Amino acid sequence: MEQRDAVIIGTGINALVAGAMLARKGWAVTLCERNPHPGGAIWTSTEHVPGFTIELLSSWHPLFVGGPAYADLAADLAARGLEYRNTELPTGVVCADGSAVLSTNPEITAAQMAELGDLDSWNALMADFGSKADLAFGLLGTDFWRRSAWKFGWKAYRQLGRQGLAASGADLLEPAAPWAERCFRSPVTRSLLAPWALHNGLGPDDSGSAFITTVIGAAIAMGGMPVPVGGGRSLVNALVSLIEDHGGTVVCNADVVRVTVQGNRATGVVLADGTSIGARRAVLASVTPPALYGTLAPEGDAQRRAAAERFRFGRAGFQIHIALREPPRWVGDPRMADTALVHILDGMDSLSESVNAANRGFLPKRPTIVVGQPATVDPTRVPEGHGLLWIQLQENPRRIVGDLAGQIDPGDGRWTPQVRDAYADRVIGILERHITNIRSAAIAQFTIGPADLEAMNVNLVGGDPYAGDCRVDQYALWRPLATATGHSTGIDGLWQIGASTHPGPGLGGGSGYQVASRLLGN
């Protein structure tokens, strides 16, 4: 049996970050990936449409570029060919009341907010957030189960005081809808900011969504919407090269079916083909709690197994990719043609309606549509003179009870290809009002529904792109388990990482960074 210092199950961003950090410090690591290629939810295709580089799953990298993992690894990744590009117009909105953009250029954003009548409110928000930014980002980046967490808590207490800390706790739990209505006069400003809660698996009426909206909004205003040249595959390739250059291995078509445990210590893994790989120091599993405690390592204690059985998955994701023979032609606001990511929605009411509908099993009548235009940041993604739309919907039921529009037969509740394509046609029909050539200029179109997402990545259970419901009872201290045990599994040497764990989903690498730092004694 081959012996390594660490075996890592999966090759998503957290697994690759952990593997790179450990390998760079001399650990012999092996990463096992069940798919034919590494990357997890980074799935870049140049095969679907010749000449087009298409991100089939995740696409945008602001969390990674702004996070501690990239700060640590940036020089090594750049030396292996990774290059990021950014844009002055990272996001915008088109809603029933108008349109707006949020820019990395403070003057552009100020002019926009002044036009909307919300400049004073925006300045007050940014000033307040700026005074607490280290605490806000620190909260998301803190490993709650280490001594450093006590230092962070003490820092917050000294900075805010007892009453300020209590008030900040209330702010952390505020939903985005009442926050937006309290802070901003314009319905356009509210529609510009509030949909960002969806990108962390929350809705505008969920506790904590105002905090997430503020953090993401501020991060985008300050850091933009960076993407790697050539697609997310460039980041994956650079991390794999970093691991291999330091003696590590990344093995694909290697489906781990069991973690071997002896005397309450993880000693390695067994693959589906019977191959065993030993782990002298650690096994890291980038999987969901039910998969870890129910299948891979059922030796865990009963309390953790019970908590894993209660773990909830959230709404399903849905994507449409359209390659165009020309750039998309936007109606109304010409700035949208140059904006990386545009939300299209009626307004706050439709946002709440669609989230609540999806939570109850219904297809929304008025979905919030995310229109990504990666070629506005990285023109190499398309042939010269062409266009590409990366369309995402985050308010979809995992199992369908009905259709609020009364047009699509839910059948037995499964996301069949017929239901998937019918819903995609509804979305494109809505977009056609804003992008006039979305049908006429299409070279190719393909749709990825919830069932397709799960088939591509087993962690996306039921098509949940965030590998677990992100509402407050399954977030921060209580992610991944209500027992608040963090990345520790109760089995010595076995650690859980990935989107199901703190600090949650998003292409940031946070959990891999935290566990690797702990193993390295940092």
pLDDT digits (tens, 9 = 90+) for 350-406: 999 999 999 999 999 999 999 999 999 999 999 999 999 999 999 999 999 999 999
In 274-335, where do the E strands start and end? 276-286, 316-324
Nearest to 222 by CA among 115, 72, 63: 63
pLDDT of residue 157: 46
**pLDDT (average), residues 273-282:** 97
> Alpha carbon 208 to chain centroid distance?
17
The per-residue pLDDT of the chain, averaged, comes to 93
Q: Distance of CA 181 to CAs 110, 136, 178, 368, 373, Å?
A: 20, 22, 5, 19, 29
**Cα–Cα distance measured from residue 290 to residue 102, given in angstroms and rounded to the nearest whole number:** 39
pLDDT mean over 404-432: 97
Q: Strand 227-228 and strand 98-102: pairing? A: unpaired
Residue 471 pLDDT class (50, 70, 90 cuts)? very high
List, for residues 75-121, the tens digit of each pLDDT value.
999 999 999 999 999 999 999 999 999 999 999 999 999 999 999 99
**pTM score of the predicted model:** 0.94
Sorted by sequence, the CB contacts under 8 Å of residue 275 that are 6+ apart come out as 254
The CA–CA distances, whole Å, from 56 to 47, 278, 354 equal: 11, 34, 24
- Confidence at 159, pLDDT banded by 50, 70, 90: low
- Give the single-character DSSP code of 299: T
Tell me the residue type at 347. Answer: G
At residue 219 the predicted structure's pLDDT band, cuts being 50, 70 and 90, is: confident
Beta-bridge partners for 4: 279
Q: For the chain, which domains are there?
A: 2-43+62-84+230-311+466-519 (3.50.50.60), 102-219 (no CATH), 315-456 (no CATH)
**DSSP percent split of the chain into helix, strand, coil, nearest 5:** 40, 20, 40
Q: Which residues contact 1 (CB under 8 A, 6 or more apart)?
A: 268, 276, 277, 278
Contact 313/469 with Cβ under 8 angstroms? Answer: yes
